[in-house]
Amino acid sequence: MLSVFVADESGLINRVAGVFARRGANIESLAVGLTVDKALFTIVATGTDATVANLSKQIAKLVNVRYVEDITDAPHVERELMLIKVHAPPGPTRTEVTQIADIFRAHAVDVSDRRLTLQVTGDVGKMEALRRALAKFGIVELVRTGRISLKRGDRMFDTGSWNPRTATRPHVTVEQPPIQDGEGDVYDAANVLDAAYDREAAEMRGEPYVLSIEVQDVPGVLNQVTGVFARRGYNVQSLAVGNSEREGMSRITMVVPASTSGISKLIKQLNKLVYVEKVEELTLTPHVSRELMLVKVNCTAQQRGELVSLASIFRALVCDVSVNTLTLEVTGKEDKMLALKEVLEPYGILEVARTGRVVMTRDSGLDTKYLGRVAGSRVML
């Protein structure tokens, strides 16, 4: 498992994926948290120790890569998010599915006459166990974010704190790197990922497009897909890659700002790729949208109860605790991530790991944005 922190720019995802493609290394899982000026990649790749060491060395040579670290053997918290849709007709079958969901602490996020959509977070073993338990009912669709990770306790990546200029309680055991002033790729704040993309700028450009791309699980396919966007100068706001419900297939979920004509051309180009099976544009389709975030906060023993109470308001879970830190796991939309960030900032946010967005269509046919569009088209008397 590799953690790669970079200064974000157009085409960077393609260059990172190209390192693996040129060496024939397969990426099992990829989670990318993106903001306007930086990105955090968590990459799970197969290979020998020598192969992984060589990949780390080659990635570190890329321009704007801040650090690369193999955290496979380091004590760490590891999580991923999965949305899974199963056949669950009313009656004993639905009751049994909900009972299995309770065992794995999964939550229902959509329900229709014949199907149930569940959301679950955990490690890869938990995901596989739930998938096997639900396989007998018939899995209709499965979307995974890829794994994210933070080191346990006071161990940290060399990325500083979220905002050391304003944090009222700096970390007491970890020496943070000095702040560098400058422009461009030199950060004038800490080298820590934000809780969301630049939403104000994104809202000015309008609603970005959400693409679900099902591909064959072969080395180099991610490089081909991201190359379509890089060659045309499109920036990617969110990217999540994980296994799909079909053996030997993966699903890539991308959020891309583009015009209507531009996205149509991109979809045509994606459909021409050999290993791409299906491309769906889900922006205007009622869908479930979720992200996963791990956040490590500076915390004394006296503040621990207060932080746990705040976390419960956002339905965040405590997944690690040490003498000086508390690590939380939260699932939801960008608004929720940002709200939690604002609440935790006074304590001193030390590290953040985020997945990209995963999306699944709602069989119920309804969501908040859809209802808003319907209500907006009516004349209220």
Tell me the per-residue pLDDT of 2-43, one tens digit each, with 9 for 90 and over.
888 887 666 778 888 888 888 877 788 888 887 767 788 888
pLDDT reported for residue 2 = 86
Q: Who contacts 10 (Cβ-Cβ below 8 Å, separation ≥6)? A: 230, 233, 234, 235
Taking CA atoms, 295 is separated from 167, 264, 265, in Å, by 15, 37, 38
Q: Judge whether residue 311 has pLDDT over 60.
A: yes
* Cα dihedral 57→10→269→212 (10° resolution): 80
Region of 122 on the Ramachandran plot (φ > 0 left; ψ -120 to 50 alpha; else beta): left
Q: How confident is the model at residue 202 (pLDDT cuts 50, 70, 90)?
A: low
Model pTM?
0.81
Mean pLDDT value across residues 133-162: 79
The radius of gyration of the chain from alpha carbons, rounded to an integer in Å, stands at 21
- SS3 call for 50: helix
Q: Name the band, by pLDDT with cuts 50, 70 and 90, for residue 156.
A: low
Burial 71-95 (b: 16+ CB within 10 A, else e): beeeebbbbbbbbbbbbbeeeebbe
Distance of alpha carbon 169 from alpha carbon 345, whole angstroms: 10
d(CA 210, CA 143): 14
Question: What does the pLDDT look like over 209-230, one tens digit per residue?
Answer: 999 999 998 888 888 898 898 8
